Structure 1
Amino acid sequence: MKLDKKTYLARIILIVVCFCIAVLCYVRMNQSYDELARYPYVNDDNRDILLKYLDSDDINYMINQQIRPEQFMDFIELDGFEMRNALLYSAAKKAQNSDNQSIINFVNRYRSHFSLKTLPDLLKYYSYIDLITFYETEWVLNENLKLVSDLSDPFVILNSTQTIYKYKPEVVSFQNIFIQQACLEDLKAMCEDYKKVLGKELTFERGYEDYETILNQYNGFKEQYPDYADLYMSTAGQNEMQLGYSIIISGLSQWLIPYLDSLNSSEETAVEFVNLETLEWLMDNSYRYGFVMRFKEDKEEQSGKAYNPYVFRYVGKKNAKKMFKSNLCMEEMEFSSL
């Protein structure tokens, strides 16, 4: 059926009118659409700020993650604010206070090094400055090196991939050394029983040492004995003397230096252990007081260190007894509490 011109024109006009109405409705709907309608924490005080500083992606992320205003409103107006890092800003602020702009800069730059779970632990034990210095220096040189985030664990094992950088534990003084409070009473008991049996004092060469002290010692040791230094000592941050749970019995230097000198010499020279009576008593009895020989003769492959009978580590009586009875080193042990 052929349409007359009037009918044809009327239909075109109707189509145009419908299209215009649809466009108008779409515009009106967009104008009235509330992006924050699904956000239960919006109010008259924060609505304008949220709409000013957040785009649609930010708003959707905020709503989907149910991030509360109190977790990011202190940061939202600052340079570099990213909604996807909002919870990290809040966690950092809570763990270790600093100015808000510095926190944003820190989190944005080093985001790949931590998670929402590990960041509070890191900031419990390390300052922002130490973390920044570590990421900009130590990590740049060795990307496999990771910071130990939970230093409440007394059984932390340090090695070429784990470091505590410049962390300083709280230690107490005993005789001529410093140690963690947790092992003080057992160490005292061991010294008392040692004196009762052998009639002399149990003495120590070293206890807790800080990052700078260990670094100086290591550098000097490495320069003098480049082929053997890493077998008997670890650099700062990776040295367990920095944890405060280790002790070195008197006699190590008197034995080790002549021994290494003999290895460097063209002439074979037998070097005997110094303070042998003390070492033998400790090998048989230290576990009773929660201490174990850290670098045993038959565990060099597991520990990565050469045999050293002068270094003892506190692990608690129950763990030490199990390690002694089963001939285990720390790398093989599943620890229970102290």
Structure 2
Amino acid sequence: MKMKRGLFIGALLALFLCCFHIMNQHYDELSRYQYANDENRKIILEYMTTEDINYLIDRQYKPKEFMEYLGMSNFNIRYVDWYNYAKNVGEMDAASILELVDVMKDQMSFSTFKVYCSNYSLAQLKSFYTEENAFVHEQTLISDPSSVTGKIEENTTLFTYTPKDLVEVSGIPIVNQIQGEETIQLSQGAAEELVNMCNAAFEINEKTCGNMVVTTGYISFDTQEQLYEEAVLTYGIDDVFNHVAYPGQSIYQLGNVVRLVVASVETTNLKEMELSPQQLWLIEHAHEYGFEFVNDPAQPLEEFILQYHEDLKQNNEEGDETQ
């Protein structure tokens, strides 16, 4: 009796295993993926694990959103949104996009990644995150340069950031302090308001721009490298930062910072610790044009370093309307 029962249970177990094997052979992992078809089914099953497929089913990505990356090195279905956002930002081949995302995904959120992509080209990001550069070693790339005010922290860098709306400043006195450079560039808003401010400064002494000269505007990363290397040779490594900024850490790279210098004839008769008429005028009026001092306006200055903020200009205009 016990033997018959054992044989019966064994037969049931064998039948169960046989049925399970048959069912497993016919089980379709993509049955719940609404976009599965004869064209994509085989390749999806070939390159995706069960875990990946479950993620795909949960998100229901369309084949056009990921099929071009499938099978490539570094592909991960969990970062499809990153790949496609980068693809829509600018021209870069799929393999390079995957390489870039594979590095950046471990250092930031997707929302931060989008901020980077809005301020830097994919080529710049690829160069920073996947290539060697002595000037940015172990530094953090500033995600949103527009948020920088007054100073760039020592362990951060703008790398090769370039403002998208640079224009050449004209119509006001300009003497570029960088040898070989005759023109000066600024972001469009800063350039327009600088001209407006210079025109208004005529009231100081009835001289063009109040007898002030623009000597510095946008300075590129490449130019900073050149200036830094020249300064090291001239002044030595211990004294170099008294003359130039470290490449990637100059506020002039932001495109919204300008340096104004008063003509020497205007300062010869000033008493010690006396503020020039130009400085007093800028303290009172610069904010009306969206500019604020980067250096200390309370101290007598030979140069005025001003940074343009669109919000400051808008707030000033709103304040005028309410009065």
Task: Please tell me the TM-score bracket, short chain as reference.
Answer: 0.7 to 0.9
Structure-2 residue corresponding to 1:302: none
- TM-score (normalised: structure 2): 0.76
Counterparts of 1:115-154 in structure 2, within 5 Å, are 115-135=109-129, 136-137=131-132, 142-143=137-138, 145-151=139-145
What do the CA deviations read for 1:186-231 (whole angstroms, capped 9, x no partner)? 2222111211331222311111111122232234445527566546
SS state at 1:238 partner: coil
Separation in structure 1 between the aligned mates of residue 140 and residue 91 of structure 2, nearest angstrom: 24
How far residue 16 of structure 1 moved from its aligned partner, in angstroms, is 1.5
Aligned length: 292
Matched-pair contact (CA < 8 Å) for 1:72–1:87? no
- Contact 1:96–1:124 (8 Å) recurs in 2: no
Which range moved further: 131-140 or 184-193?
131-140
Residue of structure 2 in register with 1:3 after alignment: none
Q: CA deviation at 1:29?
A: 2.2
Match of residue 188 from structure 2: 181
153-162 or 122-131, larger mean C-alpha shift:
153-162
* CA distance in structure 2 between the aligned counterparts of 1:124 and 1:210, rounded to whole angstroms: 19
* Equivalent residue, structure 2, for 1:206: 216
Q: 65-74 or 153-162: which moved more?
A: 153-162
Please tell me whether residue 249 in structure 1 is matched to residue 260 in structure 2. yes
Superimposed CA distance per residue, residues 13-36 of structure 1 (whole angstroms, 9 cap, x where no aligned partner): 212111111111221221222211
What is the Cα deviation at residue 273 of structure 1? 8.7
What is the rounded CA distance, in whole Å, between the counterparts of 1:13 and 1:168 in structure 2?
80
Equivalent residues in 2 for 1:298-317, closer than 5 Å: 310-316=304-310
Aligned to 2:9: 15
Q: Distance in 1 between matches of 2:61 and 2:91?
A: 20
Post-superposition offset of 1:292: 1.0
Cα offset for 1:168? 1.4
Residue 51 of structure 1 deviates from its aligned partner by: 1.1
TM-score for both structures, normalised by structure 1: 0.73
SS in 2 for 1:118: helix
Report if the CA contact (8 A) 1:187-1:289 is conserved.
yes
Change (3 A) 1:181 1:154: farther
**Offset at 1:235?**
2.0
1:262 maps to none
Say whether the 8 Å CA contact 1:171–1:179 is kept in structure 2. yes
Q: Which moved more, 1:147-156 or 1:209-218?
A: 147-156
Contact 1:251 / 1:275 at 8 angstroms: preserved in 2? no
2:251 counterpart residue number: 240
Q: Deviations over 1:138-172 (max 9, x none)?
A: 599653x3223335658696322432211112311
Code of the residue aligned with 1:77 in structure 2: it is G
Change (3 A) 1:313 1:225: farther
CA distance in structure 1 between the partners assigned to 2:80 and 2:284 by the alignment: 55
Q: Secondary structure at the match of 1:31?
A: helix
2:178 is matched with: none
Q: Give the CA RMSD over aligned residues.
A: 3.5
Query: Of residues 68, 72, 78 in structure 2, which corresponds to 1:84?
Result: 78
1:57 to 51, 61, 64: 51
Q: Distance in 1 between matches of 2:243 and 2:314?
A: 22
Query: Percent identity of the aligned residues?
Result: 27
Whole-Å separation in 2 of the counterparts to 1:77 and 1:45: 15
Q: 1:312 aligns to what SS in structure 2?
A: strand
Distance 2:146 2:61 in 1: 29
Unaligned 5+ residue runs, structure 2? 175-183, 265-270, 317-323
Q: How does 1:152-231 map to 2 (within 5 A)?
A: 158-169=152-163, 170-175=165-170, 176=174, 177-202=184-209, 203-221=213-231, 224=235, 230=241
Q: Answer yes or no: is the 8 Å Cα contact 2:261–2:303 preserved in 1.
A: no
5+ residue gaps, structure 1, are 1-6, 254-270, 300-306, 323-338
State the match for 1:112 in structure 2.
Answer: 106
Question: 2:15, 2:250 → 1: CA distance?
Answer: 76
Q: Among residues 36, 39, 52, which one is paired with 1:42 in the alignment?
A: 36
Larger radius of gyration: 1
